[in-house]
Amino acid sequence: MLLISDINLYDPEFKGKKDILIGHNSILAIHDRISLKDINYLDIEHINGSGKFLIPGLIDSHIHIAGAGGEGGPASRTPEIQLSEILKGGITSVVGCLGTDGITKDVREVLMKAKGLREEGISAWIYTGAYQVPPPSVTGDYARDIALIEEIIGLGEIALSDHRSSTPDTPELIKMVEHTRVAGMLSGKAGIVNIHMGDAHDPFKPIYEAVNNSELPIKQFYPTHCNRNEEIFQDAKQYGRTGYIDLTASSYPYFSEYEIKPSKALNEFLKAGVPLENITISSDANGSLPGFDKNGNLVKLEKGMPDSIWTELKDAVLKENISMDKVLKIATENVANILKLKNKGRIIEGFDADCLIVDKEMNIHTMISKGKIMIKNEKMIARGTYE
Does residue 162 have an active-site annotation?
Answer: no
The helix/strand/coil state of 336 is helix
Contact (CB, 8 A) for 59 and 335:
yes
Q: In the predicted model, what is the mean pLDDT of residues 70-79?
A: 86
**pLDDT grade for 76, boundaries at 50, 70 and 90:** confident
| Distance separating alpha carbons of residues 263 and 373, to the nearest angstrom | 29
Q: Which residue has the higher pLDDT, 91 or 37?
A: 91
Contact (CB, 8 A) for 122 and 92:
yes
Contact (CB, 8 A) for 304 and 250:
yes
The DSSP annotation for 237-279 comes to: HHHTTTS-EEEE-TTTTTTTTTSPPHHHHHHHHHHTT--GGGE
Q: Where in the chain is the domain with CATH 2.30.40.10?
A: 2-55+346-380
Amino acid at the residue 48: N
Write b or e for each residue in 190-211: b if 16 or more Cβ atoms lie within 10 A of its Cβ, otherwise e.
Answer: bbbbbbbbbebeebbebbeebb
Q: Where in the chain is the domain with CATH 3.20.20.140?
A: 58-339
**pLDDT grade for 255, boundaries at 50, 70 and 90:** confident
- pLDDT tens by residue, 257-293: 889 999 999 999 999 999 999 999 999 999 877 788 8
**pLDDT grade for 35, boundaries at 50, 70 and 90:** confident
Q: What is the 3-state secondary structure (H, E, C) of 283-297?
A: CCCCCEEEEECCCCC
CA 276 to chain centre: 16
| Distance separating alpha carbons of residues 283 and 287, to the nearest angstrom | 10
**pLDDT grade for 75, boundaries at 50, 70 and 90:** confident
The percent of the chain in helix, strand and coil, each rounded to the nearest 5, is 30, 30, 45
**Which of 27-36, 45-54, 86-95, 252-261 is predicted with the least confidence, judged by mean pLDDT?**
252-261
Sign of torsion, CA 264 252 135 147?
Answer: negative
Q: Is 107 exposed, middle or buried (0-12, 13-18, 19+ CB in 10 A)?
A: buried
Q: How many CB atoms lie within 10 A of CB 81?
A: 24
In CATH, the architecture of 2-55+346-380 is Roll (2.30)
| Distance separating alpha carbons of residues 249 and 305, to the nearest angstrom | 9
| Distance separating alpha carbons of residues 385 and 82, to the nearest angstrom | 9
**Which of 58-67, 87-96, 295-304 is predicted with the least confidence, judged by mean pLDDT?**
295-304
Write b or e for each residue in 150-167: b if 16 or more Cβ atoms lie within 10 A of its Cβ, otherwise e.
Answer: ebbbbbbbbbbbbebbbe
User: Is pLDDT of 69 > 70?
Assistant: yes
Nearest partner of 339 among 222, 237, 209, 249, judged by Cα? 222
pTM for the model stands at: 0.95
Q: DSSP E strands: which ranges in 64-216?
A: 91-96, 123-128, 152-160, 192-197
Residues in CB range of 297: below 8 A, 6 or more apart: none
**pLDDT grade for 71, boundaries at 50, 70 and 90:** confident
pLDDT at position 241, please?
98
Nearest partner of 306 among 93, 114, 76, judged by Cα? 93
- Domain 58-339 classification at class level: alpha beta
Host H or E run for residue 30: strand 26-31
| Mean pLDDT value across the chain | 95
Q: How many CB atoms lie within 10 A of CB 296?
A: 8
User: Is pLDDT of 41 > 70?
Assistant: no
The catalytic residue among 101, 162, 284, 315 is: 284
User: Is pLDDT of 249 > 70?
Assistant: yes
**pLDDT grade for 53, boundaries at 50, 70 and 90:** very high
